[in-house]
């Protein structure tokens, strides 16, 4: 068993508000969509609709198989943005739309870019950055939308 990590050893990297420029692209994230991811995401979000866990019933309802629920997609979008923005950032707004379903054994590729820089928070410690994103699979766009994230204005001491 390893020793606990001290706070000073944590990686607090991530962009600052002043270092981000409009047009900057986020790193691409490629996610394999597994049956386990779909079912566990639905269960974790207490979404017990059969189309998210029962392949036979999903097909009877006209789907090719079970499909991912919006709450799981929302979580993956949040992960995508915070993987880029780092642990000192905060999600302020998530505005997404679903399109083509994510079925088991497909791959969703998330891409995004900074499309706007907004105002500073009242205390001046964070600045608002809007990211436009797209998550596509073999059927088309699964998710499109924007996420507003608050980034620290300056590096923190010791980071």
The whole-chain average pLDDT of the chain stands at 91
Cα(97)–Cα(75) distance, rounded to whole angstroms? 13
What is the residue extent of each domain of the chain? 13-152
| Residue with more model confidence, 55 or 10 | 55
User: What pLDDT digit, counting tens, does each position of 118-142 carry?
Assistant: 999 999 999 999 999 999 999 999 9
pLDDT for 9 equals 53
Instruction: Round to whole Å and give the CA distance between 36 and 149.
Output: 29
- In angstroms, the first-to-last Cα distance of the chain is 27
pLDDT in tens, 28-47: 999 999 999 999 999 999 98
In angstroms, rounded to a whole number, what is the distance separating the alpha carbons of residues 81 and 75? Answer: 10
**Residue 122 contacts residue 128 (beta carbons within 8 Å):** no
Measured between alpha carbons, how far is 83 from 143 in angstroms, rounded to an integer? 18
DSSP string, 95-143: EEEE-S---TTEEEEEEEEEEEEEEEPTTSSEEEEEEEEEEEETTEEEE
Confidence of residue 12 (pLDDT cuts 50, 70, 90): low
Q: Which CATH number, 3.30.70.360, 3.10.129.10, 3.10.450.50, 3.40.50.720, labels domain 13-152?
A: 3.10.129.10
């Amino acid at each position: 068993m390893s020793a606990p990590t001290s706070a000073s050893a944590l990686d607090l990297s991530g962009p600052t508000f002043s270092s981000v420029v409009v047009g900057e692209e986020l790193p691409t994230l490629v996610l394999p969509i597994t049956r386990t991811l779909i079912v566990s995401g639905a269960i974790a979000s207490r979404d017990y609709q059969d189309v998210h866990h029962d392949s036979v019933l999903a097909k009877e309802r006209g789907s090719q198989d079970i499909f991912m629920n919006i709450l799981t997609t929302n979580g993956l979008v949040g992960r995508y943005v915070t993987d880029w923005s780092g642990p000192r950032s905060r999600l302020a707004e998530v505005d997404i739309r679903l399109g083509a379903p994510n079925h088991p054994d497909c791959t969703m590729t998330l891409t995004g870019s900074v499309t706007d820089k907004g105002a500073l928070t009242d205390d001046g410690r964070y600045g608002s950055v809007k990211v436009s994103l797209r998550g596509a699979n073999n059927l088309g766009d699964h998710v499109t939308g924007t996420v507003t994230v608050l980034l620290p204005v300056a590096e923190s001491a010791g980071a």
